[in-house]
Structure 1
Amino acid sequence: MNLVKRFSKIFRMKIFRIITLSSLIMMLIVSCKSTNKISGTMENINRKWMLVEYQDFTKAELTKLEAYMDLTKNPDSENRYTAKMGCNGMFFTAELSKGKAKFSGVGSTMMYCDGRMKLEDSFGKQLPNMNQYKIEGHFLTLSDGKSIMKFVAADWD
């Protein structure tokens, strides 16, 4: 009878250990998933974006001009970002949070590039009006409720 009690006690301890270990593993899995989801969203916007859809410009034109907006974080100038729409280097301030966007201080260098200024002029005037953003997969869409600028992540193949 003593042997049965001892076996029962060992069996209960093993079951307790299995349940405890399983619970810890489940908590770790749940914790990692939620952390990845939160940080993944923020990381996704802070990258270089290639312009693929805007006004009446064709995708071929935008690709030829190598039009992009770089939202990579700059540790020296918080909320300062750059863009290039075919000629001049552009710069601006942006605040992006929870689908809301605020662009200001748009400026650029002052070179003239024959046949390459229409997109740059239009983008520079329209960007401050963009007040919403949405990330879907590898695409970023900026909108003001009437018009859109659609980008694809430059590091996506």
Structure 2
Amino acid sequence: MLVEFQDFSKDMMVANKANVNFTSIKDAGKFSANMGCNNMFGTATFSGNGMVKFSQMGSTMMFCDKAMDLEAAFGKALPTMTHYKIEGHYLTLSDNTGKSMKFVASDWD
């Protein structure tokens, strides 16, 4: 679950059930995401040296009034994330300028 991202509140992200699912990464290199409206998907490659690359991103195209700002910002930022760090139950993705997004395992919080 997404818990820290730009100026969006944790409460809003939790209410939207904002999440990324990496369970298919090991087998197929695929991920899926949802910020409260559209289903997003693509490929991701994680390397052992803390680097990540997101590509081939797509999304369904529904309009949802309250989730669109978060979804648009996330969709724009995710492909720019190039580094990852895992600390306990947290995954942090960051770009080369210091911008980041932080996730917590959905069974933890």
Shared fold per TM-score greater than 0.5: yes
Quick one: which of 97, 100, 103 aligns to 1:148?
A: 100
How many pairs were matched up? 107
- 1:132 partnered with 2:83: yes
Structure 2 residue aligned with 1:62 = 13
Between Structure 1 and Structure 2, which shows a larger proportion of helix residues?
Answer: 1
**TM-aligned CA deviation for residue 74 of structure 1:** 6.3
**TM-aligned CA deviation for residue 156 of structure 1:** 2.2
Q: C-alpha separation between the residues in 1 aligned to 2:10 and 2:101?
A: 12
When residues 133 and 74 of structure 1 are mapped into structure 2, their CA distance, relative to the original with a 3 A threshold, is closer
**TM-aligned CA deviation for residue 141 of structure 1:** 0.1
RMSD of aligned residue pairs (Cα, Å): 1.4
Q: C-alpha separation between the residues in 2 aligned to 1:115 and 1:51?
A: 16
- Structure (1 or 2) with the larger CA radius of gyration: 1
- 1:83 partnered with 2:33: yes
Residue 86 of structure 1 aligns to which amino acid in structure 2? Answer: G
Structure 1 residue aligned with 2:22 = 71
Structure 2 residue aligned with 1:108 = 59
Same amino acid, percent of matched pairs: 55
Say which SS state the counterpart of residue 115 (structure 1) adopts: coil
Q: C-alpha separation between the residues in 2 aligned to 1:152 and 1:115?
A: 22
Say which SS state the counterpart of residue 127 (structure 1) adopts: helix
- 1:52 partnered with 2:8: no
**TM-aligned CA deviation for residue 136 of structure 1:** 0.2
Gaps of 5+ in 2: none
- Do 2:32 and 2:41's aligned partners in 1 also have CA atoms closer than 8 Å? yes
Gaps of 5+ in 1: 1-49
